[in-house]
Amino acid sequence: MNVRMIRAELLRLRKHRGLFWWSIVLTSGAVAAFYGIVLGFHLNDPAHHGPAGGAENLQRGLWVLTMVGGVGAAIVGATAGTADTSSGVFRDLVVTGRSRIALFVSRTAGAVAFWVPLAVVAYATMMVLTFALAAGTATPGAAVIAKDGAWALSVTTVMLLVGLGVSAAIGSRGISIGVILGWQLAVSQVLEEVHVLGVTREALLTAAATRLEPSSGEALLVPMSAAAAVAALVGWTLVPLLAGAWRTRTRDA
């Protein structure tokens, strides 16, 4: 893996100011907005609305981070997956003799390097607000913090890689974002409720992510083992990436 190529991809994403700032809005901004809204309800009517922080609101905060942050991750991935073709430099890179697969791998690594710090900062923001606004209520322990953080980072990174692989395969950033978000936010949610589908629902990304959520205390719509959930997440990661790598290798320069 060429470190210089990865750094170049990372720099290109960082210099995309619109993408950079919207990624912050959809991660740390979304988390701060959620806690700000809950705090407003608490200050307006403390008798009916508890403190904004503490362990009680942790699951809601995680939902905001993974859902809204997942949207941001898909956008970042779709942008990275079509960066070379949309900017018209794909042909120039190919004629230099660089391996197309190496180009795709460096693009993937650069996108992950761009996304992970944003997700970590957003989760750190959530933890700060969870403790700062607890107002004497129970707060999560170190084990819970570590498990929830790993889960949120894993789920949003999978969304990033899905966006990257799908956009590289399709060749269109806008269509890829629309397809992914439509599937995740609408179609997948409906399919979880269709019990006649049986065990096939275990292949849904939303079902697998919910099964692995550490803080979730709700009954699962799709009962499944942890191993099946992990396998589903791995599949959602590998299949789009393999499709994107194949399309990159076979695309006309």
Q: What pLDDT was estimated at residue 154?
A: 96
Q: What is the mean pLDDT of residues 92-119?
A: 86
Structure tokens at 249: 């290798």
On whether the pTM is more than 0.85, the answer is: yes
- Where do runs of H (alpha helix) occur along the chain? 3-15, 17-24, 30-44, 58-81, 83-87, 90-95, 100-132, 142-170, 173-182, 188-193, 205-212, 226-250
Q: What pLDDT was estimated at residue 1?
A: 56
Nearest to 145 by CA among 124, 169, 173: 124
Q: What is the mean pLDDT of residues 217-222?
A: 74
Nearest to 166 by CA among 218, 244, 75, 97: 244
pLDDT tens figures, 198-216: 899 999 999 999 999 887 6
Q: Residue 119 contacts by C-beta under 8 Å, 6 or more apart in sequence? A: 27, 65, 69, 73, 152, 153, 156, 157
Q: What is the mean pLDDT of residues 76-81?
A: 93
Determine the Cα–Cα distance for residues 7 and 240; give it in Å rounded to an integer: 23
Amino acid identity of residue 185, one-letter, is L
Checking if the pLDDT of 35 tops 90, the result is yes
| 53 φ, ψ (degrees, to nearest 5) | -100, -160
Residue 212 falls in which region: left (phi positive, over 0), alpha (psi -120 to 50) or beta = alpha
Checking if the pLDDT of 98 tops 80, the result is no
Vertex 107, ends 106 and 112: CA angle to 5°?
95
Determine the Cα–Cα distance for residues 34 and 110; give it in Å rounded to an integer: 29
